[in-house]
Amino acid sequence: MNLAFLLSAATLAIASHDDLSRAAVPNCPGRQVSPAEQLCIFKDFVKLLYVKKDIPAAFQNHVAESYIQHNPMFKSGRQIAQDGLAKYIPPINFTVAKIGLSDNTGWVMVKQVTKEQQAEGKGMYTAVVDVLRMEGSCIVEHWDVLQPRPAAASNPLAMFDQQRFGDVLGGCDGKTRYKDKHMNDGW
């Protein structure tokens, strides 16, 4: 009985070690992944960046060092983007509205409310669309478009449909999601 217990414990320890080894593997350099796994990797990046605001984890685990940046305010390179966003993102409120991924290109639509916009109290915000190209498991290129809601908007339709906000970052289950230390919190 003791031998059976020891063998069982050893098997669990080896399995746990394998899970931890896979969990510690960063997504860059890119490796080949299924479309479902790529979507889960992309969702994890979005969650780390906009929900948890953990810029170092988002960029170190998901973005290539040779990251190509098309935003005119930042030069290319992972560290440049990470350092710039570390100053920009923390004080802003974000709501992830829509997300998608097809043919190695992911996009996310985000409602961004700065402290200044919130202080105005007029429902002001900025719509942001980030487009990110991936090579397998790794984000390698970025474009973005920002559109502030004008104070005197002539179109009565909101830029965001409040009834459609939901859990756009969910849907990754144990069969399709990859092992990552940042994804063990229930989604």
Domain boundaries, the chain: 28-162
* pLDDT, tens digit, 9 for 90 and up, residues 83-99: 999 999 999 999 999 99
Token pair of 8 as six digits: 């069982």
Query: Taking the model in full, what pTM does it have?
Result: 0.77
How many percent of the chain have pLDDT more than 70? 75
3-7, 146-150, 159-163: least confident range: 3-7
Q: β-strands 138-148, 126-135: how paired? A: antiparallel
Kindly tell me if the per-residue pLDDT of 104 is higher than 90.
Answer: yes
pLDDT of residue 110: 94
Tokens 């810029």 locate to 55
Model confidence at 134: pLDDT above 90:
yes
Report the pLDDT value the prediction gives residue 182, as an integer from 0 to 100.
44
Query: What pLDDT band is residue 119 in, cutting at 50, 70 and 90?
Result: confident
Structural tokens at position 88: 């920009």
Structure tokens at 116: 């200044």
pLDDT tens digits along 155-167: 877 787 665 556 7
Domain at 28-162: CATH architecture: Roll (3.10)
Provide the CA 41 distance to its chain's centre, in angstroms: 8
E strands, 123-163, are 126-135, 138-148
pLDDT value at residue 158: 74
